[in-house]
Structure 1
Amino acid sequence: MKNSKYIDKILWMVIFLFFTVIAGLLYHSIKKALPDEINIVANQEQQFDFGLPVNGFIKSVIEVSDMEKSNIPSNQVKINMQQPFTLKSGSSGSFIMACKLFGLINLKNIKIDIVEKQYVIPCGEPIGIYIQTDGVLIIGTSVVSAMDGLNYEPSYKLVKSGDYIVGVNGISVNNKSQLIDLINEYGTEDIVLNIRRNGEMIGIKIAPVQTTLNEYKLGIWVRDNTQGIGTLTFINEDGKFGALGHGINDVDTSTLMELKSGNLYQTNIVSIIKGEKGIPGELTGTIDYNKTNILGDITSNTTEGIFGVSSKLLQKFNKNSSMEVGLKQDIKVGPAYIRCDVEGEVKDYDVEIIEVNSGENNVNKGIVLKVTDENLLKITGGIVQGMSGSPIIQNNKIIGAVTHVFIQDSTKGFGIFIENMIESDNVE
């Protein structure tokens, strides 16, 4: 009898833990599916359909124009987010919508911003990219062979991958050549590397190792620049551009490269490697780094893309081809197209939007799309490297940009919401 009661107790504990875990997973999945911020166009009705068992309470005004009054009453407005609903905005202001699971359990607060309509020119132009890092990026450490015949690793556990060397003994360092010259100049003297780590400055004392008569090494692998090919997403009437839809990360450290300066260059696509299952394809091209081929200056490298200014590109595109910027709620599952150059000229190719994820943490993977254009499939096999930044257009609005390809299915890929790119650019 005692054993039976003991087994029943264990069983009830297991059942309780099971439902606790399920409830926790449900809570976090629903919370993750909700966006942190919603933009709505001034003086327009905006439709939303989250389909979640959540009630939203518009409970407070953060900001509102002195000239305009909110059309939302000062008392709370309850919204059933399991059903489609419509928000109608005034001309300006920001609001907080408190979201509660089943109307009872606090999930998060969503900020609602009223914004003006925005217009940009969707491009789809292939571009060559060159950026120089802000300091010399440390990739890793290695063993060096000294003149005494022994092996040393002088920087082991002192520096970290992702550190930036910005000086030696207080003398500024901008590139690898300067770093090498200074190390050789000090010889076997201990030196202090001025390091920027996660935004903080630190000094690290290291003893160089003499490897030849006039050469000294720290046993550090470094990089001070990178280059590649991508696609220009948009440019506005002020000549400000956005490209790629994702940041430029170092290939070895996988960290976002901290930018000192950079340029866009003219590029010519010379070949296309088709994407296959498990093998991403690629656009390959040539870049002539002559000053006359510079198209614009890159001023920022962010997780949402690279941004800068170009008067040359602005002259190239017709201002009358400006297109309204579509917000997350404007995007529908269904037909759309992407704009890119894989045939020697910029063209539009059919795709299908198969999923829209407007929740948190979907920085540049909020749109899931599938290439349906037979001609594009024949040429590239779908989405390939180098097409990152290709504008996604639906219902005469630019809604996003291609960012990633599915490795196991090159016909499918991710896209970033165009409003995320533009907001990132405006922050800089």
Structure 2
Amino acid sequence: MTGKSKFYRWLGRIFWLSIVAVTGYTWYYMDQAVPDRVSIIQNQEEDFSFGLPLKATISSDSEEVSLGNESNIPADQITISGRQHFSMIAGEQGSYQVGLKLFGIIKLKDIQVDVVDTRYAIPCGSPIGIYLKSDGVMVIGTGRITGPDGMEVEPAYGILKTGDYIEAFNGKPMKTKEDLISAVNESGGQDSVVTVRRDGEPVDVSVKPIAGSDGKYKLGAWVRDDTQGIGTITYVDMNGNFGALGHGISDSDTGDLVETSQGALYSTEIMGIEKGTIGKPGLLSGVIYYGPQSHMGDIAENTNEGIFGTVNQQFKKQLTGEPVEIACRQDVNPGVAYIRSNISGELEDYEIDIQKVDYNASHKNKSMVIKVTDPRLLELTGGIVQGMSGSPIIQDGKLAGAVTHVFVQDASRGYGILIENMLER
């Protein structure tokens, strides 16, 4: 084979690889540009533009959803290209499907269209003390026990696993660490059955407690039954339901989402702010006041999209501000927005820049990239600090989402969650 033949063969390979790469990237770009799910207000025409590089046909699978374009004539199928705008309108609440095909032939995806009533909530931005009780006694690890003879053993090694929730010991329900410690000591070192919840399923394991140097019997397991900290209330709706944090509460040792049986909100006082620096996120330090007079509400759920529950009259008395409309996904766009927070001691709106919106983010609590631009907040905190999670994001007078994470290498930037992702947990 001549050198020229080899050259043309390699040139052909590069050409076809380039075609495959461009086709793959174009398909990925279009898939990301088109949301998997949108919301429209009942009886209200909503405008959309996907910015597709190719011509596409959109068709409605239901008579309830009508499509429109520049002709403004309702239809069940329209063709769009580029950044051409189109609209959808529906008269009945519910969930429907709209199909999208490239050139009217190649199916790209189905879009779920949720038709909803206009929703309102009060953006809060108030720091709050959070107490979460785990559903069972969580195992965070195992360890060695030094017996009376000085020998070290690890009875739970390979039997109990990090992330297990101990529900019962020899058939007796375990609600707290104290319950478990007492039951283990009372076993007298006999082989015991421990019922754990592992990956959501009940499992019985056999463990033989060992006497420690103090003469008391132990499992050799590190456990936890609660967690607490400071976060921010995002919103309270018209029925007294709240959403906070925008992300779930995970155990500090295992990193797993804490499975909760109950929890509560308590009043808190911010005592200091440690500014964020490169490689080290800042944080809020404060005091949580526990007790009946400081009880502000109850936590019902701990999810990847935040914590949720109801506030009490004590909290409602402190609410300020008017209800605002909940933004649909497509209402949230890159550009100027505001974080609402009373981190300074007074409720204020601080300007930010929404740099990116990912309607199809795999992690819903990272569906926006935001940057703090307000010099007041930058001077006060350096940007986003731990404890600000849940601070509401307001754009165009609507509740758009909440702050969730800070970038470790740049405290002025971080992630946010779309408010609809919080509501549709």
Q: In the TM superposition, what is the alpha-carbon distance from 1:3 to its structure 2 partner?
A: 9.3
SS at match of 1:159: coil
Cα pair distance change 1:78/1:190, threshold 3 Å? farther
SS at match of 1:231: strand
Match of 1:49 in 2: 49
Match of 1:363 in 2: 364
Deviations 1:290-315 (A, max 9, x none): 22211000111111111111122223
AA of the residue aligned to 1:370: K
The within-5 A match list for 1:386-401 is 386-401=387-402
Match of 2:88 in 1: 88
For normalisation by structure 1, the TM-score amounts to 0.90
Query: Comparing 333-342 with 49-58, which one deviates more in the overlay?
Result: 49-58
Q: Does 1:71 align with 2:70?
A: no
Query: Comparing 188-197 with 105-114, which one deviates more in the overlay?
Result: 105-114
Q: Does 1:220 align with 2:221?
A: yes
AA of the residue aligned to 1:90: A
Match of 2:340 in 1: 339
SS at match of 1:269: strand
SS at match of 2:52: coil
Deviations 1:58-106 (A, max 9, x none): 2412xx7xxxx54359985144363242323122243212234565443
Q: Does 1:165 align with 2:163?
A: no
SS at match of 1:89: strand
AA of the residue aligned to 1:316: Q
Q: Does 1:191 align with 2:186?
A: no
Match of 2:293 in 1: 292
CA distance in 2, matches of 1:227, 1:211: 30
SS at match of 1:316: coil
Contact 2:337 2:394 survives alignment (8 Å):
yes
Query: Comparing 407-416 with 72-81, which one deviates more in the overlay?
Result: 72-81
CA distance in 2, matches of 1:99, 1:269: 50
CA distance in 1, matches of 2:149, 2:218: 14
SS at match of 1:364: helix
CA distance in 2, matches of 1:187, 1:3: 84
Contact 1:324 1:396 survives alignment (8 Å):
yes
Match of 1:138 in 2: 139
Match of 1:414 in 2: 415
For normalisation by structure 2, the TM-score amounts to 0.90
Match of 1:302 in 2: 303
Deviations 1:206-247 (A, max 9, x none): 122221353122222211111000111110121111111111
AA of the residue aligned to 2:31: K
Contact 1:351 1:369 survives alignment (8 Å):
yes
SS at match of 1:308: strand
Cα pair distance change 1:369/1:181, threshold 3 Å? same
CA distance in 2, matches of 1:227, 1:404: 18
AA of the residue aligned to 2:185: N
Q: Does 1:402 align with 2:397?
A: no
CA distance in 1, matches of 2:236, 2:153: 51
Cα pair distance change 1:313/1:91, threshold 3 Å? farther
Contact 1:130 1:263 survives alignment (8 Å):
yes
CA distance in 2, matches of 1:86, 1:249: 42
Between the two proteins, the alignment pairs up a number of residues equal to 417
Cα pair distance change 1:108/1:71, threshold 3 Å? closer
User: Any stretches of 5+ residues in structure 2 without a counterpart?
Assistant: 69-73
AA of the residue aligned to 2:98: M
CA distance in 2, matches of 1:245, 1:126: 14
SS at match of 1:354: strand
Cα pair distance change 1:183/1:82, threshold 3 Å? farther
Aligned Cα root-mean-square deviation (Å): 2.5
Q: Does 1:39 align with 2:39?
A: yes
Match of 1:149 in 2: 150
Match of 2:241 in 1: 240
Match of 2:71 in 1: none
Contact 2:36 2:359 survives alignment (8 Å):
no
Q: In the TM superposition, what is the alpha-carbon distance from 1:351 to its structure 2 partner?
A: 1.3
Cα pair distance change 1:213/1:406, threshold 3 Å? closer
Match of 1:271 in 2: 272
Contact 2:366 2:404 survives alignment (8 Å):
yes
Contact 1:275 1:384 survives alignment (8 Å):
yes
CA distance in 2, matches of 1:90, 1:284: 48
Contact 1:34 1:360 survives alignment (8 Å):
no
Contact 1:155 1:206 survives alignment (8 Å):
yes
Query: Comparing 112-121 with 204-213, which one deviates more in the overlay?
Result: 204-213
SS at match of 1:212: coil
User: Any stretches of 5+ residues in structure 1 without a counterpart?
Assistant: none
Cα pair distance change 1:105/1:344, threshold 3 Å? same
